[in-house]
Amino acid sequence: MSEEMSFWDHLDVLRSHIIRVLVVLAIVLVGCFFALPHVFDTIILGPTHADFFVYRWLGFAYGPAEDVEIINIAVASQFLTHISTAFWISLVLVFPYLMYQIWAFVKPALYPKELRGVRTAFSAGTLLFYLGCAVGYLVVFPIIFRFLVQYRIGAEVLNQINLGSYMSLFLSMVFIMGLVFEMPILAWMLGALGVLNKKMLKSWRRYAVVVLLVLAAAITPTGDPFTLFVVFLPLYLLYELSILICPKPAAGE
C-alpha cells in the first residue's frame, strides 16, 4: 500500500483520473460524430431491414416481412439523435479506459494479495459488459423490435416508427443487457465483502429462476415462449456463473 494520503490528496488524484477519462471521451466522441453517418443505416438501423442477418439466423418468421420505415417528425430530432447516439457509442468504446482509470485509482489502496483478484474483476467486468451489449444488439432488441412492429391493436391502425422512440428502445435494450451482464462481478464483490457466498446463492436458485423469468418477461413484452427463453437463458447462465465465482462460506457458517 502507498503512504498515507489526506482526503484532499485523494480528491486531487480522483480529479486527475476523471479529467483523463473526459478528455479521451471527448476525442472519441468527435470521431464517432463524424463516423456515425457512415454506419447508422447498416448497424443502428440494421434491425429495421428484413434481411438483417439475425433474422436470417432465426428464420423468416422472426423478422419483419419488409423493411421498416423510420420517420422523423421533429425539426431538430435528427441532429440531436446524431449527437446523443455518438455520445453513447463513444461511452461504450471508452468503457475499457474508464475501467482502467478506476483500477489505477484504487490500486494504491490494495494489498499485493488483493491486486490480482481486483485486476481480474475489472478485466472480466469489461468483457462481460461488451458481451451483454452484443446480446442486447444481436438477440434482445431485434426480437423485441420485431414483436412491437408486427403487433396490431386494430387492423386499420398502422405503425409508423418515430426516430426518437426507435433510438430510445435501441439504446436502453443494449445498455440494460450490458449492465445485467455485470451480475457475476457484483456477486464476486459482495462475496469478497462477506455479504454473499456460494451456499447462499445455491439455496436461492429456485427463487432466482422465478425472479429471472419475471425480469426476462419485463425486458421482452411478448407472450412468445421462444422469445422469453432466448432472454431468460443468458440471465440464468449469468446466475450460475455468479455461483461458480462466488467464494465459499467461511468455516462454521
Please report whether residue 221 resides in a domain: no
Q: DSSP of 85-152, one letter per residue?
A: HHHHHHHHHHHHHHHHHHHHHHGGGS-HHHHHHHHHHHHHHHHHHHHHHHHIIIIIHHHHHHHHHH--
Helix, strand counts (H, E) of the chain: 10, 2
Range name among 34-43, 58-67, 83-92, 151-160 with the lowest pLDDT average: 58-67
Please report whether residue 102 resides in a domain: yes
Please report whether residue 217 resides in a domain: no
Cα torsion 200, 206, 210, 212: sign: positive
Please report whether residue 227 resides in a domain: no
Please report whether residue 188 resides in a domain: no
The confidence score (pLDDT) of residue 29 equals: 95
The confidence score (pLDDT) of residue 253 equals: 52
Whole-Å CA distances, 152 to 168, 215, 244: 21, 24, 44
Please report whether residue 129 resides in a domain: yes
CA–CA gap between residue 115 and residue 186 (Å, rounded): 17
Q: How many domains does the chain have?
A: 1
Short-list 150, 4, 134, 131, CA closest to 66:
150
The confidence score (pLDDT) of residue 158 equals: 81
Predicted confidence (pLDDT) per residue in 184-193, tens digit: 888 887 777 6
Q: What percent of the chain is modeled with pLDDT above 70?
A: 85
Average pLDDT of the residues in 219-246: 79
The confidence score (pLDDT) of residue 1 equals: 44
The confidence score (pLDDT) of residue 2 equals: 47
Q: Is the pLDDT of residue 3 over 70?
A: no
Average pLDDT of the residues in 220-238: 75
Residue 127 structural domain: 7-181
Most confident of 4-13, 34-43, 133-142: 34-43
Please report whether residue 18 resides in a domain: yes
Please report whether residue 204 resides in a domain: no
Q: Is the pLDDT of residue 55 over 60?
A: yes
The confidence score (pLDDT) of residue 88 equals: 92
The confidence score (pLDDT) of residue 32 equals: 95
Q: Is the pLDDT of residue 87 over 50?
A: yes
